[in-house]
């Protein structure tokens, strides 16, 4: 019922550990098992995690994380200097769907971009003006994901990648245009 850490989680953790500093106020959206967040504790000024799944929220609370059950970052008024998100980025075929909570963790909607688009549409609501976001995506989403980022007035840079047998997973650093 909770997304188990995989190569994409490891890539987010690797980039987050390089990016985070002790002044950062960090928001991890869709924290799932807490794999990334628990390793950031003590490395930043504050850390808030969200997840829409009640099962994930229960697990995150057990790990002592400051957690809010919400869709993406809906309802959060605070601005964060570092936002982390490993979204569902694949389009799940109907025949593969099995459980609404489990599917939500892996189904990114049409072309795997629906959840990512919603994130990008609301990013300015919770990322500080000089902040940055780390977004995990797949080569399957390219080049459309870059078009989506640019169309919202953000700059981006690929800061890490990991090749798998059928795709390449990328970590994209997003910030306001200068």
**What does the block give as tokens for 16?**
């987050």
Nearest to 23 by CA among 45, 6, 2: 45
pLDDT in tens, 108-148: 556 668 889 999 999 999 999 999 999 999 888 889 999 99
Per-residue pLDDT at 167: 85
What the chain holds in terms of domains, given with CATH numbers, is: 7-176 (3.40.50.150)
Whether the model pTM is above 0.85? yes
pLDDT in tens, 10-23: 999 999 999 999 99
Summarize the confidence of residues 145-171 as an average pLDDT: 94
Summarize the confidence of residues 91-96 as an average pLDDT: 56
SS3 85: strand
Cα–Cα distance measured from residue 121 to residue 144, given in angstroms and rounded to the nearest whole number: 15
**What does the block give as tokens for 72?**
């993406």
């Amino acid at each position: 019922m909770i997304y188990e850490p995989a190569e994409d989680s490891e890539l987010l953790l690797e980039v987050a550990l390089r990016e985070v500093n002790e002044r950062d106020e960090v928001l991890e959206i869709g924290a799932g098992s807490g794999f990334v967040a628990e390793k950031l504790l003590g490395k930043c000024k504050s850390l808030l995690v969200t997840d829409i799944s009640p099962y994930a929220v229960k697990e995150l609370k057990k790990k002592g994380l400051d957690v809010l059950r919400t869709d993406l970052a809906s309802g959060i008024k605070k601005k964060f200097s570092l936002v982390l998100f490993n979204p569902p980025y694949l389009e799940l075929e109907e025949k593969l769907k099995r459980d609404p909570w489990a599917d939500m963790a892996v189904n990114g909607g049409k072309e795997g971009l629906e959840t990512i688009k919603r994130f990008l549409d609301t990013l300015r609501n919770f990322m500080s003006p000089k902040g940055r976001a780390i977004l995990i995506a797949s080569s399957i989403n390219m080049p459309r994901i870059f078009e989506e980022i640019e169309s919202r007035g953000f700059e981006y840079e690929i800061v890490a990648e990991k090749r798998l047998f059928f795709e390449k997973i990328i970590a994209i650093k997003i910030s306001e245009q200068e």
